[in-house]
Amino acid sequence: MVIKKAQAAFKEWRLVPAPIRGEIVRQIGLALRDKKEALGALVTLEMGKIYQEGLGEVQEMIDICDFAVGQSRLINGVNLQSERPEHRLSEQYHPLGVVGIVTSYNFPVAVLAWNTALAAIAGDVVVWKPSSKTPLTALATQKIIKDVLIANKVPEGVFNLVVAKSSVMGDNFLADNRIPLLSVTGSTAVGKRVGGIVGKRLGKTILELGGNNAVIISPKADIQMAIMSTVFGTVGTAGQRCTTTRRVIIHEDIYEEVKTKFVSAYEKIVPKIGNPLNEDYLVGPLIDNGSVELFKNAVESVEKEGGKILFGGEVLNGEGYESGNYVVPCIAEAENHFEIVQEETFAPIVYLLKYKGDITNAIEIQNDVPQGLSSACFTLDVREAETFLSLAGSDCGIANVNLGTSGAEIGGAFGGEKDTGGGRESGSDAWKIYMRRQTNTINYGAELPLAQGIKFDI
Catalytic annotation, residues: 208, 242
Tell me how far apart the alpha carbons of residues 53 and 60 are, in angstroms, rounded to a whole number: 10
Binds ligand UN1 (CB under 6 A): choice among 44, 106, 218, 379: 106
Q: Which stretch binds ligand UN1 (CB under 6 A): 93-101, 105-113, 306-314, 328-336?
A: 105-113
Q: Is 303 exposed, middle or buried (0-12, 13-18, 19+ CB in 10 A)?
A: middle
Q: How far is the CB of 44 from ligand UN1 (least distance, A)?
A: 16
Q: How far is the CB of 276 from ligand UN1 (least distance, A)?
A: 16
Size of site (CB under 6 A) for ligand UN1: 11
Q: Is 359 exposed, middle or buried (0-12, 13-18, 19+ CB in 10 A)?
A: buried
Q: How far is the CB of 201 from ligand UN1 (least distance, A)?
A: 26
Binds ligand UN1 (CB under 6 A): choice among 408, 413, 430, 435: 408
Tell me how far apart the alpha carbons of residues 344 and 326 are, in angstroms, rounded to a whole number: 19
Q: Which stretch binds ligand UN1 (CB under 6 A): 27-35, 239-247, 362-370, 389-397?
A: 239-247
In terms of CB distance, is 53 or 384 closer to ligand UN1? 53
In terms of CB distance, is 5 or 192 closer to ligand UN1? 192
**Other CB atoms within 10 Å distance of the CB of residue 73:** 12
Tell me how far apart the alpha carbons of residues 179 and 247 are, in angstroms, rounded to a whole number: 37
Bridge partners for 204 per DSSP: 181
Q: Which stretch binds ligand UN1 (CB under 6 A): 4-12, 142-150, 158-166, 235-243?
A: 235-243
Q: Which stretch binds ligand UN1 (CB under 6 A): 75-83, 92-100, 311-319, 403-411?
A: 403-411
Q: What is the largest CA-CA distance in the chain?
A: 90
Q: How far is the CB of 89 from ligand UN1 (least distance, A)?
A: 39
Binds ligand UN1 (CB under 6 A): choice among 10, 51, 67, 107: 107
Tell me how far apart the alpha carbons of residues 58 and 166 are, in angstroms, rounded to a whole number: 25
Residue 242 makes contact with ligand UN1 by CB under 6 A: yes
**Other CB atoms within 10 Å distance of the CB of residue 63:** 21
Q: How far is the CB of 282 from ligand UN1 (least distance, A)?
A: 16
In terms of CB distance, is 185 or 375 closer to ligand UN1? 185
Residue 275 — φ and ψ, nearest 5°? -45, 115
Sheet containing strand 213-217, strands side by side: 308-311, 330-333, 349-355, 245-251, 213-217, 374-378, 398-401
Residue 77 makes contact with ligand UN1 by CB under 6 A: no
In terms of CB distance, is 183 or 406 closer to ligand UN1? 406
Q: How far is CA 163 from CA 3, 45, 330, in A?
A: 14, 18, 34
Residue 49 makes contact with ligand UN1 by CB under 6 A: no
Residue 243 makes contact with ligand UN1 by CB under 6 A: yes
Residue 185 makes contact with ligand UN1 by CB under 6 A: yes
In terms of CB distance, is 9 or 117 closer to ligand UN1? 117
Sheet containing strand 435-443, strands side by side: 79-80, 87-95, 435-443
**Other CB atoms within 10 Å distance of the CB of residue 119:** 29
Residue 406 makes contact with ligand UN1 by CB under 6 A: yes
Nearest to 61 by CA among 169, 138, 127, 155: 138
In terms of CB distance, is 101 or 408 closer to ligand UN1? 408
Residues 6 or more apart whose CB falls under 8 angstroms from that of 301 comprise 338, 339, 340
Q: How far is the CB of 223 from ligand UN1 (least distance, A)?
A: 23
Q: Which residues bind ligand UN1 (CB under 6 A)?
A: 60, 106-107, 111, 185, 241-243, 406-408
